[in-house]
Amino acid sequence: MPQTILNLAVEGVQALQPYAPGKPLSELEREYGITQAIKLASNENPLGPSPLVLQALREAFPDLARYPDGNGFALKAALAAKLDVDAACITLGNGSNDVLELVARGFLSPQSSAVFSAHAFAVYPIVTQAIGARSCVAPAHDGSRGPRFGHDLQAMLAAIAEDTRVVFVANPNNPTGTWVAEDRLRAFVEQVPDHVIVVVDEAYFEYVDAPGYPNAVRWVGEFPNLLVTRTFSKAYGLASLRVGYGVSQAALADVLNRVRQPFNVNSFAQAAAVAALEDERHLERGVALNREGMQQFEARFEALGLNYIPSVGNFISVDTGRDPGQVYTALLHEGVIVRPVANYAMPGFLRISIGLPEENRRCLDALARVLAT
């Protein structure tokens, strides 16, 4: 094999598919020469953050030249009070992605493996392979014993091997929007061997109102190997600032802290997150808006005869019944950015983030036009 820079990379990185982010609005408008485009591609909060956040950001400006609080004292204190845990149980991340990466760096090696489900969030294989660890993908439900494309926790347990050190459970999962119920998840956490870290990724926690949906943070005191991750990027509307967190027992948080960059969460993100936690009403408004938007999509998909995966998140995946790449491109021409999910082995599907009512309507009208041609 001829020597290339890529050959020099560790084996896992050579085979790695880089994360494909949603297309930015500015890029679409530049490329297609259009204006007023809408982006429903990255599960962002269409309401934006609370006004309290904007105020906190203004107040943070004078400290621009200072390093942030590397221990995140105020944010950890606010989270600890809200979640009723000790501040030592919290790990702050540059987005919850960062926390997922800290798990991989802290617990995986080229001699170990991580287990996750088929169709699970794309960052799990990335952080696993970047370390040179083996990715072990458990088959998802086929629709007979659980929601189609949803995590099959029995299959995930069966996939755990001697060398497994981490198992990732996305609850709910992105891009499927599927979720696992409290009794099942709890039984799963109980059965995972002690030498395996169970990551329960609750990035969309605040949006979920399904009966039986668990709050895994409540179990952290019982399981030394449990880590629950959450984020300010979705329901709190702070995606651009990059701030998320993990909740675990202090001993696990200590491992993550050892591999964490000292100033991984900037001052603006910390101040904004504290302010966001104070505005419950804004959070509720966003959640209610999402619920209505979800109904708007479901009703129209049904009218159009399109199959979709019922979702408890702020996005929904729909089977276009066509080559989704072509539908995606046709929607771009209509000024609508959605997310292709070809890399998730869900043929025919596109994922659409729930936006403002008018954005949802524009997206649905454009989809109907595209599918009618």
Ligand X SMILES: Cc1ncc(COP(=O)(O)O)c(C=O)c1O
Interface with ligand X, residue 201, by CB under 6 A: yes
Compare residues 293 and 313 and give the one whose CB is closer to ligand X.
313
Q: Does 352 bind ligand X (CB under 6 A)?
A: no
Smaller CB distance to ligand X: residue 121 or 308? Answer: 121
Question: What part of residues 123-142 is at the interface with ligand X (CB under 6 A)?
Answer: none
In the complex, the smallest distance separating the C-beta of residue 203 from ligand X, rounded to whole angstroms, is: 4
Phi, psi of 190 (to 5 degrees): -65, -35
Q: What is the CA radius of gyration of the chain?
A: 21
CB 270 within 8 A of CB 241: no
178 lies in the site for ligand X, by CB under 6 A: no
Nearer to ligand X, 42 or 361 (CB): 42
**Of residues 318 and 370, the one with the C-beta less far from ligand X:** 318
Q: Is the alpha carbon torsion for 354, 273, 211, 249 positive or negative? A: positive
Nearer to ligand X, 117 or 366 (CB): 117
Residue 107 or 315 having the CB closest to ligand X: 315
Does residue 174 bind ligand X (CB under 6 A)? yes
How near is the Cβ of 10 to ligand X at its closest, in Å? 23
> Can you give 270-320 as a three-state secondary structure string?
HHHHHHHHHCHHHHHHHHHHHHHHHHHHHHHHHHHCCEEECCCCCEEEEEC
Backbone angles phi and psi of 38, in degrees to 5: -125, 145
Strand order across the beta sheet in which 307-309 lies: 307-309, 315-319, 349-353, 339-340
Contact 322/347 with Cβ under 8 angstroms?
no
Min dist. Cβ of residue 369 to ligand X (A): 28
Determine the Cα–Cα distance for residues 341 and 320; give it in Å rounded to an integer.
Answer: 12
Which of 231, 248, 249, 317: binder of ligand X (CB under 6 A)?
Answer: 231
Within 13 Å, how many C-alpha atoms sit on residue 293's CB side?
A: 31
Distance CA 151, CA 138 (A): 8
Q: Give the torsion sign (CA, 163, 166, 171, 176).
A: negative
The residue of the chain with the least Cβ separation from ligand X equals: 95
Name which position in 107, 116, 121, 149 contacts ligand X (CB under 6 A): 121
Nearer to ligand X, 76 or 300 (CB): 76
In terms of CB distance, is 11 or 209 closer to ligand X?
209
Of 251-310, binders to ligand X (CB under 6 A) are none
Shortest distance, position 3 Cβ to ligand X, whole Å: 35
Size of the site for ligand X (CB under 6 A): 13
Position 244 contacts ligand X (CB under 6 A):
yes
List binders of ligand X among 36-75 (CB under 6 A).
43
What mask of x and - would describe binding to ligand X in positions 75 to 104, judged by CB under 6 A? --------------------xxx-------
Residue in 59, 104, 100, 96 with CA at minimum distance from that of residue 79: 96
Alpha-carbon gap, residue 230 to 244, rounded angstroms: 6
Closest by alpha carbon to 334, among 134, 16, 22, 36?
A: 36
Judged by the rule CB under 6 A, the positions of this chain that interact with ligand X are: 43, 95-97, 121, 170, 174, 201, 203, 231, 233, 239, 244
